[in-house]
Amino acid sequence: MNWEKLARELSLKTPTKIVLLVLDGLGDLPHQGQTPLEEARTPNLDELARQSVCGVTDPVLMGVTPGSGPAHLSLFGYDPTRYLLGRGILEALGVGVEVGRDDLVARGNFATLRDGRIVDRRAGRIPTEENRRLCARLNEALKGRTNPRITLYPGKEHRFVVKFSGPGLCDALSDADPQKENKPITYTQPLVPEAEESARLVNQFIDEVTELLRDEAQANTILLRGFARHPTIPTMEELYQLKPAAIAHYPMYKGLARLVGMDILEVGPETADIFRVLEENYEAYDFFYLHFKKTDSAGEDGNREAKIRAIEELDPFLPRILKLKPEVLVVTSDHSTPCALKSHSWHPNPFLLHAATARVDDVQCFTELSCQAGHLGRFPALYAMSLMLAHAGKLKKFGA
């Protein structure tokens, strides 16, 4: 079934509002009988679950571990197996880089090179101010370059985005990153014959930067990965007649939201800022994507206690969303990040949908196992958008 074609035909413009709250990497595995979500004290999430319909979602397919991009695309109603997004384009759009049709972008790390080996892939997590100085220094040295034109854009700490601008560039390139310390510099390799010239240009750039930074104590080389060009993807307005907005702290999630046509709302660094910005902009939009990163960060660090604290930090803010009375509120995750694995996993994600039209089930608390027993059962995350639209009264009847 072609969901995109159906969405264009059935979607209605209405004043009703949808709030999608994503607790990144929320799902986990039991330790001494409980997951972090089961152990955390979450009176508001549990009460909300008792008033909602629940289930669990698979971002791609059962058993398939998703990246953040595919996992979020599914929640937004885009088939993640059709839209294969390079991490570079998400990072670039997230920091506000304009990416044209002749541009090639990549994520970058400043790194430390000693005796021909990468001894620190993050250059000691240099301060963001130092990152800005290094990018400015390199941009000055590269000024006037036209074939291709190369520009660096600083991110947080050691991270940056590089953009190559010129005709004929190809993104079928392997990562120029050894992925581990104490390995030699890794150069990009063309994955198709058409990418050979692009690979040569990128590797020439890596060597040039390494020479330019040879006098730096820590950040004396670079690693590049996630090469990407601008994909062709319909916006949420085109598909669903929505006016959507995103409230997120991290560049990659802002980039993904911008790619599907969301307005990016500026937000301060604290969890409370997410909900303040929602309240301040509530009348201006009909779809809000709220992203909470701390649960995923704790999972990737293998820090169970930090994950429990993150969940408990978020829980008191649920009443502020409910006070706005959105027609639909969904609380879920993009993927699971079990502390024991310290990485994304294939385990399904807890999901609740709160709406006046929802058939409330018997779920008594918002946990992985409890939600699995809800009326929605286990379903593809790709269906989340059609459920949100339906409960918000934004879909016409299909057929006669």
CATH topology classification for 3-84+234-391: Alkaline Phosphatase, subunit A (3.40.720)
Name the phi and psi angles at 190, rounded to 5. Answer: -70, 135
pLDDT band at 232 (very low <50, low <70, confident <90, very high): confident
Q: pLDDT at position 17, please? A: 98
Gap between the Cα atoms of 205 and 393, Å rounded? 52
Residue 261 and residue 237 in contact, taking contact as beta carbons nearer than 8 Å: yes
Q: Tell me the percentage of the chain whose pLDDT exceeds 90.
A: 84
The residue-averaged pLDDT of 11-31 equals 97
- In one letter, which amino acid is 160? F
Phi then psi for residue 350, to 5 deg, are: -60, 145
Mean pLDDT score, 373-385: 97
Is residue 387 within 8 A of residue 240, CB to CB? The reply is no
pLDDT in tens, 279-321: 999 999 999 999 999 999 999 999 999 999 999 999 999 999 9
Question: Can you tell me the mean pLDDT for 21-39?
Answer: 96
Q: Which pLDDT value is given to residue 206? A: 96
Q: What's the gap between Cα 160 and its chain centre?
A: 17
Dihedral pair phi/psi, residue 21, rounded to 5°: -105, 115
231 or 214, higher pLDDT: 214
Query: Half-sphere exposure (CA, 13 Å, Cβ side) for 330?
Result: 31
387: pLDDT strictly greater than 90: yes
At residue 89, φ and ψ (nearest 5 deg) are: -70, -35
Cα 205 from Cα 138, distance rounded (Å) = 11
Nearest partner of 311 among 46, 51, 52, 30, judged by Cα: 46
Over residues 127-186, the pLDDT tens digits come to 999 999 999 999 999 988 888 999 999 988 899 999 999 999 999 999 999 988 999 999
For 71-112, the pLDDT digits (tens) are 999 999 999 999 877 778 878 877 778 888 889 999 999 999
Q: Are 90 and 157 in contact (CB under 8 A)?
A: no
Angle at 142 between CA 138 and CA 143, to 5 degrees: 115
> CB neighbours (10 Å) of residue 44?
18
- Residue ranges per structural domain of the chain: 3-84+234-391, 90-228
Query: What rounded mean pLDDT belongs to the chain?
Result: 94
Write down the pLDDT at residue 12. Answer: 96
**Is the per-residue pLDDT at 264 higher than 80?**
yes
Query: Alpha helix (H) ranges present in the chain?
Result: 3-10, 36-39, 43-50, 68-75, 87-94, 128-142, 196-212, 236-240, 251-259, 271-281, 294-301, 304-314, 318-324, 368-372, 384-391
pLDDT at site 351: 98
Beta-carbon contacts of residue 122 (< 8 Å; ≥ 6 apart) = 109, 110, 111, 157, 158
Per residue in 37-74, pLDDT (tens digit) is 999 999 999 999 999 999 999 999 999 999 888 999 99
